């Protein structure tokens, strides 16, 4: 007889995997295309995000560095001045994360292009974005009742609390972008490994 604990873990993992599949099916081709083009023509890339969305942004930044793209994380030690021509990528499920939105506003004023990875195109972040990638997914500020993407949500408040679904689908989506950039840039896994941190 299988253990009840492992069954619940299994069920939560399956729920998340299904959400990734659903989101991958509703990606907007033009949004994805434009985002990839923006990445390819950016002089430098800066990423930002708060909490677990910030961890997702960092995971993406690390792979961009492996790909040889000049990338920085807002708030880390050696991040230089943002300038015109730089691409500023903000990850925020709600699109209303206070400091992330404020930073995007400053970036916009400086003249960099803004990418919003968010569930809400009409959020403060979504509205100032030059490039928008909408990933449907309940976010941590929603209660179950006001969830606008109900058909994708199910009853997962207890299986994937707060922003979990957005964070994971954002990570997986951005890793999909990495796969595409490898093709586009003609990079093999060995090329990435050669740039991977050696002290860890």
Residues between 49 and 88 with contacts to a copy of itself, criterion CB under 8 A: 50-52, 55, 58-59, 61-63, 65-66, 71-82
Q: Does 97 bind a copy of itself (CB under 8 A)?
A: yes
Take residue 200 and report the two structure tokens written for it.
């860890």
Q: Does 13 bind a copy of itself (CB under 8 A)?
A: yes
Interacting span for a copy of itself (CB under 8 A) from 46-54, 113-121, 122-130, 146-154: 46-54
Q: Does 115 bind a copy of itself (CB under 8 A)?
A: no
- Within its chain, how far is the Cα of 9 from the centroid? 24
* Residue closest to 180 by CA, chosen among 133, 130, 111: 133
Q: Where are the alpha helices (DSSP H) in the chain?
A: 4-25, 29-41, 51-66, 98-110, 124-128, 150-153, 164-185, 189-195
Q: Does 23 bind a copy of itself (CB under 8 A)?
A: yes
Q: Does 103 bind a copy of itself (CB under 8 A)?
A: yes
C-beta of 21 vs 148, nearer to a copy of itself: 21
Q: Does 128 bind a copy of itself (CB under 8 A)?
A: no
Interacting span for a copy of itself (CB under 8 A) from 48-56, 120-128, 147-155: 48-56
Element at 113 (helix H, strand E): strand 113-118
Question: Cα–Cα distance between 190 and 56 in angstroms, integer?
Answer: 23
Q: Does 40 bind a copy of itself (CB under 8 A)?
A: no
Q: Does 122 bind a copy of itself (CB under 8 A)?
A: no
Q: How far is CA 68 from CA 65, 74, 191, 197, in A?
A: 5, 18, 9, 13
Interface of this chain with a copy of itself, residues 174 to 193, rule: CB under 8 A: 175-180, 182-183, 188-189, 192-193
Take residue 168 and report the two structure tokens written for it.
């994971």
Q: Choose the catalytic residue: 8, 76, 155, 167.
A: 167
Tokens 């209303």 belong to residue: 96
C-beta of 120 vs 173, nearer to a copy of itself: 173
| Residue 84 falls in the annotated catalytic set | no
Take residue 148 and report the two structure tokens written for it.
């606008």
How many residues sit close enough to a copy of itself to count as binding (CB under 8 A)? 92
Quick check: 121 and 115 in contact, CB under 8 A? no
Residues taking part in catalysis = 167
């Amino acid at each position: 007889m299988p253990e009840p604990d492992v069954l619940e873990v299994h069920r939560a993992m399956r729920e998340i995997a299904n959400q990734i599949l659903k989101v991958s099916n509703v990606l907007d081709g033009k949004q994805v295309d434009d985002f990839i083009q923006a990445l390819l023509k950016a002089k430098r890339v800066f990423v930002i995000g708060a909490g677990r969305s910030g961890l997702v942004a960092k995971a993406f930044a690390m792979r961009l560095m492996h790909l040889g793209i000049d990338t920085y994380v807002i708030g880390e030690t050696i991040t230089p001045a943002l300038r015109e021509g730089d691409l500023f990528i903000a990850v925020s499920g709600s699109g209303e994360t206070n400091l992330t939105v404020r930073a995007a506003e400053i970036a916009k004023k400086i003249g960099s292009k803004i990418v919003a990875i968010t569930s809400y195109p009409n959020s403060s972040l979504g509205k100032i974005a030059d490039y928008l990638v909408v990933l449907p997914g309940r976010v941590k500020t929603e209660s179950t009742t006001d969830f606008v993407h109900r058909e994708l949500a199910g009853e997962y408040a207890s299986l994937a609390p707060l922003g979990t679904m957005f964070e994971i689908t954002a990570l997986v989506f951005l890793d999909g972008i990495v796969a595409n950039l490898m093709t586009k840039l003609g990079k093999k896994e060995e090329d990435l490994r050669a740039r991977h941190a050696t002290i860890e």
